Chains A and B, each alone.
Chain A
């Protein structure tokens, strides 16, 4: 039993619940998936707001992951020979580097970086791609492109 469960924020529980929702869908348990969806929506609603944070704060947090978070987690996962966790860390670190370079490029080029082109996110690993057409397979996790979703430009 997991009696040492640590406190989780609403935002963290929202991600936990959508993860379980997806796992139920994969088993074709649509009712359970829908129930986890309700729970995820409750926690998403209560997500801790980061109002007033700046662009630089976001970049700083990514840099922290890249400077220490991944190193720490990798060391522990290697020591325990946990190949599944190492897999998640390899994907996550690559995606994080990519997000960092995207944010840095946006700072310089502003909207010209994304004007007249599309942005896609891989549903499986979080890979973000800027361009006309997404690649046929995700360069990071290797899923086929139907798992890579376009993100729309929306006016308010």
Chain B
């Protein structure tokens, strides 16, 4: 668990600078230096007058179980949204009208976001979950060796998550 700062709320009053025993709060980029933050300390969280500091967990509980039929119906919807995203992208790429392209691009973005939300609710909300690990392992097994497949990125993710 380490402290993190919501830059949008921080008024730069600097009370957190006074209370931090390690200087983790005093950085040039506005964010807290996680490597210096003491797990479980939270002095700055309680001291901040703007409620700008919160704690980020390192371990999360297992996500709620998703029933297979719920997951399936969300995957079906996501597939349809992705198809619409691809259609909108194709329509945009085949047109040279900036206004029509703007419309198609918006439709594509919107569908991409809806697809993401379906996956989130289908049990892929937490990157550290078993579901995501087994997906990454499957992808690695399947695509390893294919040109441009970022196998090292997947291995690193499996290590870090």
Contacts and interface: CB of A to CB of B under 8 A. Distances in A.
Interface of A: 1-6, 9, 11-16, 18-20, 22-24, 27-29, 31-32, 35-36, 38-39, 42, 45, 47-53, 55, 57-58, 61-62, 64-65, 69-70, 72-73, 76-77, 80, 82, 84-85, 87-89, 91-92, 95-96, 99, 102-103, 106, 111, 113-115, 119, 121-128, 151-156
A82 B114 contact: no
Contact of B134 (A2, A9, A155): A2
B157 A32 contact: yes
B13 interface: no
Nearest to B136: A39
A32 B161 contact: yes
Contact of A15 (B69, B78, B97, B134): B78
Contact of A111 (B75, B84, B97): B97
6 contacts: A58-B84, A61-B87, A96-B114, A119-B106, A127-B110, A152-B102
Interface in B70-109: 70, 72-91, 94, 96-103, 105-107, 109
Interface in B114-134: 114-127, 130-132, 134
Interface stretch (B15-23, B40-48, B148-156): B148-156
Main secondary structure of the interface of B (DSSP, over half): helix
B114 A92 contact: yes
Interface of B: 4, 31, 34, 56-57, 64, 66-70, 72-91, 94, 96-103, 105-107, 109-127, 130-132, 134-135, 138-139, 148-150, 153-154, 156-157, 160-161
B150 A76 contact: no
B113 A153 contact: no
Given A2-B134, A45-B148, A77-B70, A84 B153 contact: no
B127 A88 contact: no
A11 B113 contact: no
B99 A115 contact: yes
A154 B97 CA distance: 9
A5 B82 contact: no
Contacts of A127: 110
A155 B153 contact: no
A60 B66 CA distance: 30
Nearest to A106: B103
A31 B98 CA distance: 36
A23 B90 contact: no
A103 B107 contact: yes
Nearest to A98: B110
A49 B90 contact: yes
Given A1-B134, A12-B79, A121 B113 contact: yes
